[in-house]
Amino acid sequence: MCSGSDSDPFIKAYVSSSLPSHDGLVQSLSASEWNSLVIQSKVPVIVVFIAKDCAECGSLMPELEFLDSEYEYMLKFYTVDTDEELELAKDYRIEYHPITIVFKGGEEKERVLGYYPQMLGQLANKYL
């Protein structure tokens, strides 16, 4: 995909519409996707680090899915399952769940520890 270019908006729309749908689900990132989808992103990225045994993490998903569709081309939302992505969890010092980190220009800008669904929209607006 041409995510790093300033190409024509119609081309971006066509490419985006031809990608496989996640059926309203926020994409879960792997370490192999991290650099291209977070660090090199041209738009702000909000990543929520989750774990399978974290009930609060699952409770954040409806809000994440809603915001991901609301801000579709302005910023991106992703999750990282720390049970599966141990190196990413180590690299970003994830010891508790959920932890939300905002990246802009490839750099960490803000980190929020805990379950605060209303904060997700506030972070999105703050970093647009």
Catalytic residues: 54, 57
Partnered with residue 105 across adjacent β-strands are none
Tell me the backbone φ, ψ of residue 41, rounded to 5 degrees. Answer: -65, 140
**Can you state the angle between helices 55-70 and 117-126, rounded to 10 degrees?**
40
Q: What is the phi/psi pair of residue 50, to 5°? A: -125, 170
CA 54 to chain centre: 18
Name the β-bridge partners of 76.
Answer: 45
**Residue 108 in tokens:** 């960490």
